[in-house]
A and B are shown apart, each in its own frame.
Chain A
Amino acid sequence: MTNDKENELPEAVRVSSGSFKQYAIKYDADYLFTSQPYTVAGKSKVPYYRFFEILRMIYDPYFEDYDNVLYVDTDIFPHYAAPNIFDVPYEEVLGIPEQHFGQSAPGWWSPWKPDWEDYKIKFTDWGAPLVKMKTRYKGKNKEEWARIRILNTGVFMMTKDARLKARKLWDNWQGWPYTPKSQRDPHYSLLNDQPYINCMLAKYDFKVKEANNYWNIPPAWWDFEEEVPIDAYFYHFSGLSKKDLVRWHSKLGLPHTVS
Chain B
Amino acid sequence: MKKVLFAAAIALGVTSASAQEVSPYLQGIGVVVNNDAEYSIENETFTTEPELVVSAYGASAYASAGVDAEEIEVTDATFGIAYDLDLAGVTLTPYFEYLTDGDFENTDMIVGVSTSIKLY
Contacts and interface: CB of A to CB of B under 8 A. Distances in A.
A114 interface: yes
Contacts of A51: 11, 14, 17
Contacts of B9: 9, 13, 17, 33-35, 74
Contact of B12 (A35, A67, A72, A114): A35
A189 B11 CA distance: 14
A67 B18 contact: no
Contacts of B1: 67-68, 86
A192 B17 contact: yes
Contact of A194 (B8, B17, B57, B88): B17
Nearest to A33: B7
A24 interface: yes
A73 interface: yes
Residue of B1, B6, B18, B89 with most chain A CB atoms under a 10 A cut-off = B6
B5 A72 contact: yes
Contacts of B112: none
A193 B112 CA distance: 40
B18 A154 contact: yes
Nearest to B18: A238
Interface stretch (A104-112, A164-172, A205-213): A104-112
B7 to A, nearest CB: 5
Interface in A96-141: 98, 101, 103-108, 113-114, 140
A145 interface: no
Contact of A50 (B14, B19, B23, B24): B14
Contacts of A80: none
Contacts of A248: none
A31 B14 contact: no
A63 interface: yes
B10 interface: yes
B4 interface: yes
Interface of A: 9-10, 13, 16-17, 20, 23-24, 27-38, 41-42, 50-51, 53-54, 56-57, 63, 65-75, 86, 98, 101, 103-108, 113-114, 140, 152-154, 181-185, 187-189, 192-194, 218, 220, 236, 238-239
Which 6 A-B residue pairs are closest in the complex by CB-CB distance? A238-B18, A239-B19, A103-B21, A35-B9, A30-B4, A53-B10
17 contacts: A32-B4, A34-B9, A56-B6, A66-B4, A69-B3, A70-B3, A71-B6, A72-B6, A98-B18, A103-B21, A103-B23, A114-B28, A152-B18, A153-B17, A194-B17, A238-B16, A239-B18
